[in-house]
Structure formats: structure tokens, C-alpha cells
């Protein structure tokens, strides 16, 4: 089954404790992206990747890191989480940047205390 998976689905952590949210797709997609979704603000793009080893900042990259060492994986790293990073996070992938039928993962709900 074609899908985007994220882990964990739910995470409660404390300020400053490094964490990684994994994202994997099995569709051989080139384009992958991370979003956060907050009430009233909609989906905001954090980082995106056009292909392996190619990443770029979205609208809200501060406090986040990403890497794309393999085509299928695109982990999101919070080196020192803060309470304002409490949010619902979605990973998405598509064939290419110009083909934007994006497939979204199920979401990761992160709470930073």
C-alpha cells in the first residue's frame, strides 16, 4: 500500500530534550516536506526536500533541522524543543515539486512542557 508513515504519532517531552520525528514514504517520491498545523494558522511549511541531499527552508524553519540521506526518509529534528513548538506535525511527499498531489502522513502530535 502506498503510504507515508510517521513516528511517533504522539509525543510529550520537556523543554530542551532533543527529539526526532521520523517520516518514510514507499512511493519513490522525490519531493518531501514537513508542515506544522496550529489552530487559526493553518498548515505552515517548515522544510522541504527536492531530492536526496537537497533541502531548503519553508516559512517557519527556526528551531528545526532536517536531513535527506535516503530518498524514502526525511526525519525532522528538534535539537532543543521549546513550548512554542507544541503542534501537530505532518510529513508529505509527492513525485516532484511541480507535481503537487502531495500524500500526507497521519500526523504527529507533539507537546513540549
Q: Go through 64-92 and write b for each residue having 16 or more CB atoms within 10 A of its CB, e for each that does not.
A: bebbbeeebebbbebeebeeebbbebbbb
**Which cell is 87 given?**
503542534
Binding-site member from 1, 10, 42, 62 for another protein (CB under 8 A): 42
Subset of 70-89 contacting another protein (CB under 8 A)? none
Indicate which single residue of 53, 56, 70, 79 sits in contact with another protein (rule: CB under 8 A).
56
Footprint on residues 11-30 left by another protein (CB under 8 A) = none
Q: Under the phi-then-psi rule, with left for phi > 0, alpha for psi from -120 to 50, and beta for the rest, what region is 9?
A: alpha
Q: Based on CB atoms, which residue is closest to another protein, 18 or 31? A: 31
Grid cell digits, residue 94: 509527492
Minimal distance in Å, beta carbon 16 to another protein? 29
Residues that bind another protein (CB under 8 A): 4, 31, 33, 35, 40-45, 48, 50, 56, 58-59, 90, 92, 97-98, 100-107
Amino acid at each position: 500500500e502506498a503510504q507515508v508513515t510517521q513516528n511517533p504519532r504522539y509525543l510529550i517531552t520537556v523543554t530542551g530534550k532533543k527529539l526526532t520525528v521520523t517520516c518514510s514514504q514507499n512511493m519513490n517520491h522525490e519531493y518531501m516536506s514537513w508542515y506544522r498545523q496550529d489552530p487559526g494558522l493553518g498548515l505552515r511549511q517548515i522544510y522541504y526536500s527536492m531530492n536526496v541531499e537537497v533541502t531548503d527552508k519553508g516559512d517557519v524553519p527556526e528551531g528545526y533541522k532536517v536531513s535527506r540521506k535516503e530518498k524514502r526518509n526525511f526525519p525532522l529534528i528538534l535539537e532543543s524543543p521549546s513550548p512554542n513548538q507544541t503542534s501537530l506535525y505532518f510529513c508529505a511527499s509527492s513525485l516532484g515539486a511541480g507535481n503537487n498531489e502531495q500524500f500526507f502522513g497521519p500526523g504527529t502530535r507533539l507537546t513540549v512542557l
